[in-house]
Chain A
């Protein structure tokens, strides 16, 4: 903050003892949510590991025969080895890069398209709203996974394509969320006040409506990251995910065949997916509580 303010007496100002911005308050409330804070710590660790994978990985994830085949976890191979004698620990580190970035990019694409479409539909209303919402419903009516399978079958199976496909197939629910927010905020007195002083449409959206929809958008994005990671894992499990290097979902799929005697090949990547998705959900939960102005 710019300058320290003098101490205020009396009922002139509200309860907060010192000047706090909105985001400081959010952070203050978020910190009280234990599970969310633990989740943040875990995810920070995961992302750090993913970024630093080339430095941390003891072996090349693709190198065959660095150890015996199907070696159980040991000091030398912390996550064991697979049927070609590749070091699973290294493969998991590299896999984290795929899984975690797929989640973020896919959720980002989904929310960006959803916010734009939802904002247009909600702000203009009327026939524009009707048309856009019908399009959303058509997309939502198709089971997401079948749509994904179809699109993945048509396009090249690169990491970028998978991210985009997940983003492009999940935006309608984001659009509906943002549209609902716009519809209700459009009727708020402060939006009317902005119109009454002669603010232009762009300013009303950017200054008065969008900042007030940020809370649900942020929460929804967080939850979508977890969802997208899960979707990518599901695609990988069906054998159409990212394979080079293998994502966590793909590792799970490979391990599935030898589950009877090499259980670590499924449990380790599986648990990691589970923890990551759960962590994102807890963060979403924590943000939802922290961003709710009613809980001030």
Chain B
């Protein structure tokens, strides 16, 4: 492979880390009108850092609008990052020129939340799934069709689905089509952008199991975005919790669910319903709404809603630090 990145970057990242994101920032300008200067920004992602090891699943949770989806799409440079670095296999994606990035897209893919809008209604399923091969130069129709059928079998689609159109499928089947498209080019990293939240609960587990199966078989690495904590727990090795464009806490799945350090994580976890009605829930209730990402609170972004906030939280922004091995948190009070 043609490595274009400077060696300095390659050295900085250990080989077992597939993706390393440092201080990623994405601001969306609010256009006041023609020829007027943009003064306001939606700070969708505001300094997020994390890494993903090869073959693992990093879950990303948070409320609607906290920037998880934007993070996922910015990592793939579907949105152009405002700041920060995205080192994928030792190569900073931000430094890649258009054509080099286009070629690199073979190694990364994305599964979308909405299985209805993510498939072009005017293309047959075979064309949709085969398209990544076509755009990366496999123009031979027979070979492409053969490969599409292989992937069909892997995701649980039948050969006769090849010539059908997306509208003829149910939500779960459509999501299988989306997964087939995402894995056909043998990518290393797959961003799963809430792949099951639009599906029926009975179908959710099927799709989750399929994703796990494919991961084991092909050694895939997932960035799994979701807002359902149980789903994330089920699939992730490590979990990151986002709040208002920032990462609040990131650690292994077990550690996060057993010893959450950030008050926001604690509040989220206490909201998971239990199957046993006898258990008295000790719920942490958060007051108020999520503040606007256009004008986020000073200091720690969570302080207006935090049950344990002290004066320091209103002024000083907490540092993103590793308080225990593999347990990162951004909170003044955590230790």
Contacts and interface: CB of A to CB of B under 8 A. Distances in A.
Interface of A: 1-2, 5-6, 8, 11-16, 19, 21-22, 130, 188-190, 192-200, 203, 207-208, 211-212, 293, 296
B102 A193 contact: no
A200 B170 contact: no
B167 A293 contact: yes
B213 to A, nearest CB: 19
B102 A189 contact: no
Contacts of A196: 76, 78, 105, 108-110
A21 B78 CA distance: 32
B135 A189 contact: no
B230 interface: no
B109 to A, nearest CB: 6
Given A130-B34, A190-B117, A197 B105 contact: yes
9 contacts: A188-B117, A189-B118, A190-B118, A192-B73, A192-B78, A196-B76, A198-B105, A198-B132, A199-B131
A195 B131 CA distance: 11
B51 interface: no
Interface in B27-83: 34, 73, 76, 78
Interface residues of B, number: 41
A197 B160 contact: no
B136 A6 contact: no
A16 B160 CA distance: 14
Interface string B105-120: 1101110111001111
Contacts of B320: none
Contacts of A19: 163-164
Nearest to A196: B110
Contacts of B6: none
A192 B118 CA distance: 8
Nearest to A5: B160
B122 interface: yes
Interface string B94-111: 000000011111101110
Contacts of B101: 198
B307 interface: no
Interface in B251-273: none
Contact of B170 (A1, A2, A14, A189): A14
Contacts of B15: none
Given A13-B169, A193-B178, A197-B109, 19 more contacts: A5-B160, A8-B160, A12-B169, A13-B161, A13-B164, A13-B168, A14-B167, A14-B169, A22-B122, A189-B117, A190-B118, A193-B110, A193-B181, A196-B76, A196-B108, A197-B105, A198-B102, A198-B136, A207-B123
Nearest to B79: A192
B120 A212 contact: yes
Contacts of B161: 12-13
B112 A189 contact: yes
B131 A197 contact: yes
A12 B173 contact: yes
A193 B168 contact: no
Contacts of B287: none
A130 to B, nearest CB: 6
Contacts of B106: 198
Contact of A200 (B102, B108, B117): B102
B114 A189 contact: yes
A203 B135 contact: yes
B158 A12 contact: yes
Interface in B112-143: 112-114, 117-123, 131-132, 135-136
A192 B111 CA distance: 11
Nearest to A14: B168
Contact of B165 (A8, A22, A197, A200): A22
